[in-house]
Amino acid sequence: FFFLMIRRPPRSTLFPYTTLFRSQEFLGAVFNVNQSTISRTISLMLKVIEKSADSQLGLYLEEAKKNAPIGNNYISNQADFLRKYPDLEEIATDATESPCYRPKNRETNKKFYSGKSKKHTIKTDITVASTRKILNVSGSYPGSVHDKTMLENKKTIDKTTKYSRHLMDKGYCGVKKKHKDKNILIPFKKPKGGELSRFQKEVNRYISQKRIFVEHIIGKLKNNRIIAGVYRGPKSSFNQVFRNIAAIWNFKLATASP
């Protein structure tokens, strides 16, 4: 342990690794250590960043649901709930894709190919509050997995309460029918061979404008080239990297000066 502390490069190693996504050989040359020391340092740091930056990431929704009031007086209960959990007044869920290398195995190759992006990707669902706080990060899935499938597999909707206005895009059509007890807003889908009414178009425009904050947060997260560019690491480690970046975002948000 003492040897690792002496030979370990500065903490700033993580910045060029996640934000610029420099190779470990390049970082070794910059900090005048060998590649194995860089690899060991990054491996140790990636395991503790989420807990250090935001230990409640992924637990916030479940904790809020446990403390949600149960009763028929919806209006007063909602006011009490949102007073305690203001971040949950309006939330939005969306999926984002990150490029990855083409797998050599044929079956794996098919799983990771995204027909939407026309390349091999890893997909992740995030739930964000209108206050810009990231409330939940799902597991990461191959690019061929549908957005709605990820949402249902991780039971993200079950973690929320009826007191939150939950905004989604058309990729989650059908979710509202399965969760009638939740306040979910999804744009109308154009019927085959038909047209949307003027009212439906206005509703779609309203939802798109209200949920734009989740798109902004995804854009902010992708300032880190490690999830915006082609991910070179093991696919099994990608989700922890994504969660770490989300936790760092929440930490910056919480410590930002008013």
pLDDT per residue over 69-105, tens digit each? 887 788 888 999 999 999 999 999 999 999 999 988 8
Gap between the Cα atoms of 177 and 1, Å rounded: 55
Gap between the Cα atoms of 245 and 124, Å rounded: 13
Q: How far is CA 67 from CA 13, 60, 80, in A?
A: 40, 11, 11
Q: Where is average pLDDT lowest: 38-52, 102-116, 179-193, 223-237?
A: 38-52
Pair of tokens at residue 153:
């597999």
pLDDT of residue 49: 87
Residue 162: which pLDDT band, with cuts at 50, 70 and 90? very high
* Interval 108-137 mean pLDDT: 94
pLDDT of residue 75: 81
Q: How far is CA 96 from CA 126, 137, 140, 222, in A?
A: 8, 11, 10, 10
* Interval 129-141 mean pLDDT: 94
> Residue 11 above 80 pLDDT?
no
pLDDT of residue 16: 67
pLDDT of residue 14: 59
Q: How far is CA 229 from CA 27, 202, 212, 217, in A?
A: 18, 36, 23, 17
> Residue 120 above 90 pLDDT?
yes
> Residue 258 above 80 pLDDT?
no
pLDDT of residue 203: 94
- Which position has the higher pLDDT, 22 or 16? 22
DSSP 197: -
- State the chain's mean pLDDT as an integer: 88
Q: How far is CA 241 from CA 58, 203, 212, 221, in A?
A: 14, 36, 24, 11
pLDDT of residue 23: 84
Closest C-alpha to 125, from 16, 253, 46, 221: 221
- Which position has the higher pLDDT, 22 or 11? 22
CA 239, 240, 243, 245 torsion-angle sign: negative
* Interval 203-229 mean pLDDT: 94
What share of the chain has pLDDT > 90, as a percent?
Answer: 56
